[in-house]
Amino acid sequence: MFTTWDNGDGVPDKKKSSIFVEGYGEHIGLGLYVIQSILAVTRLTIEETGVYSEGVAFAITIPKENYRFDEPAPLKG
């Protein structure tokens, strides 16, 4: 899981699912919708996990079957 956050106002619990809907918000309303759509193509998920009045936090989850750790290639010298 990868998490990023800020110390702004945050998102009220009742609005957390709405922020990913196309057209939601005060401006164009595409940012989080597009991010969620791109992540979904690779089976990653994003959710807002912050506490209202303490800031926003976005957690991106990568399913275990979607990543691998390869041995690094030997250095040529």
Q: Where are the domains of the chain?
A: 2-66
CA distance 48 to 12: 10
Portion of the chain with pLDDT greater than 90, in percent: 66
Contacts 24+ apart (CB under 8 A), 14-19: 16/47, 16/48, 19/48
Confidence of residue 31 (pLDDT cuts 50, 70, 90): very high
- Chain centroid to Cα 13, Å, comes to 16
Residues β-bridged to residue 61 = 45
- Give domain 2-66's CATH architecture: 2-Layer Sandwich (3.30)
The reported pTM is 0.77
pLDDT of 66 > 80? The answer is no
Q: Within 13 A of 40's CA, how many CA atoms are on the CB side?
A: 8
